[in-house]
Every structure is written in structure tokens, then in C-alpha cells.
Amino acid sequence: MSFVEYGDTIKDGDTAIVFLGHESMFPVKVQHGTVTQTKYGVIRHSTDLIGKKYGSKVTCSKGGWVFILHPTPELWTMNLPHRTQILYSTDISIITMMLELKPGSIVCESGTGSGSLSHALIRTVAPTGHLYTVEFHQQRAEKAREEFREHGVEHLVTVTNQDVCKNGFGVSDIADAVFLDIPSPWEAIGHAKSALKAEGGRICSFSPCIEQVQRTCLAMEEYGFTEINTLEILLRVYNVRTISLQIPDLGKAAEDNSSTGFDSSNPSNQGSPCANLQQGTVQFKSGVPLREMVGHTGYLTFATKS
């Protein structure tokens, strides 16, 4: 099993996603002799999972059923254990596009955190690219290495435990892109410039506060970066529903019905458009935004090494 290569069959040691519904799913490590409890009953790994195809419908001990899905960076972002605040698909999608990443790209990242963005970056640059990720916190760095190994992507990523603001990324003049998600990104701009290739490399900094953005932009200008641009991505979800509204009485509906011999007392005519007109209402689909939405996450500042 690998997060960047699809496998048909569930194997011992795989990480799989147990799908109970669109709002309910969780990851599980498949192991011989292990059981997983769900609200629909027990899933026995040896008999219910190992050897089955990904996407299979598995019946639990209480008679309910779940789907077992192959892991992807998108599903991992929704289900990973949170060691830090993470980036979600809304920001990740614009980051991978604006950094112009593709298979074979070399990317430097700091900090690793919970690995949400890291998995998406690895999938984007695979199979010939590489991710150099730096994490200041030792335990988080060790946990990230363990996860990358379990997910079959350790050959595509190098995890380093050090302070990027003092010691940099450990590479020079090779990166196509650099991503910064640290409290003081302006202190790492010089190291980012050293890690980037000689010309045309892209940099992105994620910061929740506008004061951080201002200091970062000044540092980027000082180190000669160009095309400095800051974005804020907001996700707005719409709820589609059927509504009924009264239509104005223009004085013609009754005349049209009488001229065509329409009988509103006939049950066969109750569902017809004329019946709706007779009742003075019409139904149609309407899209309205949800009353609550995900608001500000952070500002994304992009720039190019000239």
C-alpha cells in the first residue's frame, strides 16, 4: 500500500479508511488478529479486511455495513491525527498550483506538523521528485518519519529535525519551490532563497495574521524576490433545496382553465402544472449559502526568485 500508488487488495500492515458516511470515517491500520469497533459492530481484520479489494462493502457483526477505501492525501487530511493545526484541501489546492509543482519537482517545506500538506506534496511530485521537510519539534519529526514509512512514501521524503530559521533546509540551489508554515517566516526567507534553484524558483508562506504577512513581504523584497502576491481563500458551500413560492394572480389562469375544460376536482389533474397554477404556488430548486461557513484560515503569500 502506498499513498501515491493504488493497490487493489488490502494487505496486512496497510492503512485503510473505514467509511461509515460522508461525515463519518476514520483510518485504521490493518493487522492480523485485530478487531475494530464501529457503531455497526465489530470488523475483524483477518477475515473481513485482509485479502479483500479496496472499495469493498464489509458487513459488521451487528448487521450494518461499511466501505473500506484506499487512502489518498485528501482522505488523510480529513482523518489524520492532529498534532498541530493543519492545512485543508482549499488551501492545499491553490498552493500546489501556484508553486507550479509537477512530477519530478524538488520541494522544501517547514514545518512538517501533522503532515497534511506533506502527503499532498509527495503525491504531486512523485515518482521522481522529492520533498525535504523540516520540523523543529523532535517528537513530531519522529512521528512524521514513522507515518511516511507506514504509508510507503519514505523514499520520496527526507525529514529533518532542526530550526529552519537558524540552520535552513540542509540543501542548496536545488529546490523548485519552498513552503513556509512557521511563526516567523521572515527569519527563514534567506535560507529559502539559498535552497531554491538559481532562477525562477517559487516560494509560499502561510500566516494567519496580517502583521506576519507584512514583515514577510518586506523580507522578500529585501532578498530580491519579485511577483509578491498575497491571497486569502474562503470556501463557501451552498445548500440546494426545493422551495414553494406564490405566483401573482394575473387574471388569466381561471380563464385558461375554463376554456380548456380543466377540472380541478379530477384527481388525475392534481399533479399537473395547471393544478399548481390553480393553487397559486410554484416549486423550483434554489441554492442558498449555509448559515455558518469556514472563515479565515490564513494568508498565502507567493513570490518568485528573480
Ligand-binding site membership of 196 (annotated): no
Ligand-binding site membership of 135 (annotated): yes
Exposure of 276 in the CB half-sphere (CA atoms within 13 A): 11
Chosen domain end from 71, 89, 121: 71
* DSSP code at position 159: E
* 27 and 88 in a common domain: no
The per-residue pLDDT for range 142-187, each reduced to its tens digit, is 999 999 999 999 999 999 999 999 999 999 999 999 999 999 999 9
* 105 and 93 in a common domain: yes
In a domain, 34, yes or no: yes
* 221 and 83 in a common domain: yes
User: 205 forms bridges with which residues in the sheet?
Assistant: 180, 301
For residues 291 and 238, the answer to whether their CB atoms sit within 8 Å is: no
* 67 and 97 in a common domain: no
In a domain, 276, yes or no: no
The per-residue pLDDT for range 109-133, each reduced to its tens digit, is 999 999 999 999 999 999 999 999 9
Q: Write down the mean pLDDT value for the chain.
A: 90
Ligand-binding site membership of 8 (annotated): no
Share of the chain above pLDDT 70, in %: 91
Residue with cell 531554491: 196
Residue 16's domain comprises 9-71
Ligand-binding site membership of 91 (annotated): no
Q: Average pLDDT in the 203-222 region?
A: 98
Ligand-binding site membership of 7 (annotated): no
User: How far from chain centre, in Å, is Cα 8?
Assistant: 23
Residue with cell 387574471: 251
Chosen domain end from 37, 71, 105: 71
pLDDT at 268 over 60: no
Ligand-binding site membership of 263 (annotated): no
In a domain, 252, yes or no: no
In a domain, 46, yes or no: yes
Ligand-binding site membership of 12 (annotated): no
* 141 and 191 in a common domain: yes
Domain count, the chain: 2
- Classify 89 as helix, strand or coil: helix
